[in-house]
Amino acid sequence: SVLVGGVTLTGSLVAWAKLKGVMSGGQIFLPGHQAINLVLLATVLVAGALALFVVPVGSLTLLYQLLAVAVLASFILGVTFAIPVGGADMPVVVSLLNSFSGIAAAMTGFVLYNNVLIISGSLVGAAGMILTIIMCRGMNRSLANVLFARFSLTGTGEKEEYVNVKSGEPVDAAIAMANANSVIIIPGYGLAAAQAQHAVRELQSMLEERGVDVRYAIHEVAGRMPGHMNVLLAEANVPYDKLFKREDIEADFKNSDVALVIGANDVVNPAALSDEQSPLYGMPILPAHEAQQAFVIKRSLAAGFAGMKNTLFESDKTLMVFGSAKEVVNGIAEELKEQ
């Protein structure tokens, strides 16, 4: 209970700090990192074994000291467990830590002889682990690769400058979508940060009134947590049958007139298909670059969690529309009203 609970607590704080931008979203490895993790794990286990099997029951001071050692080591282990994971993989770690929280609760249930904790903790732990596995499969990677693999930022790395990026205004996107037959919207964290889900829902309705087929492409790791985009769009009453999983819609981009990317970055980065040095390499993406035209709404050309340059932004078919997602989408809607 102490081991898993401690790792969950400080690991979650590291995940929060990376996702919030308080600390670097890149991978952080200490010298002898895995050896440090093994020493910390052994410290917790040895302290627990001594407390259970060696120290006399009446020696409360020594028992408390061993408990303090186990708690401190587990707290440090949570930090060293989470910091090597890059920001792009943090949604998987969040899901795994959710699972850990359930396991910690179940273990505490055994300590307290509490069946409610045991059952509810087991359910949370199992559900979190299932979701973690699903997300790893969606990224075409193993859990061990997410947690322990090192990636180089060479190749199309974050230090490369963008060239030939074309920018436009909301009116450009409005004209293209008003004359389109099919529009695929790809939501990302920028949509969540700007709370633009209701504006997007209004834009969808306006396009559908013009006979445009509007659908949403949801990537497994879009946003900051599992199911982030689904929750936001459900909040805006987007019909569930308009939401498509990546594998169910990725083949349709070639026949789509417009791909509208709202605040997403890594999940539409073509470098994942070709750049072997990229931490995204091998991850299935939403192929916005295959649509007839792509509009990307972002505040800037800043890199995503993976810290990688997004070659989609340089495509001849891509037009960047800079600004807050909510303001830009509202601007597109106003332009549609005037047409």
Catalytic center residues: 266
3-class secondary-structure state, position 293:
strand
Q: Quick one: tokens of 248?
A: 């169910």
Distance between CA 142 and CA 124 in Å, rounded?
Answer: 21
Asked whether 258 and 135 are in contact (CB, 8 A), the reply is: no
**CB-based contacts of 167: which residues, under 8 Å, 6+ apart?**
319, 320, 321, 322
Amino acid at 53: F
Distance between CA 144 and CA 322 in Å, rounded?
Answer: 37
Beta bridge partners of 216: 185, 243
Distance between CA 319 and CA 312 in Å, rounded?
Answer: 10
Q: Where are the beta strands (DSSP E) in 233-277?
A: 243-245, 258-262
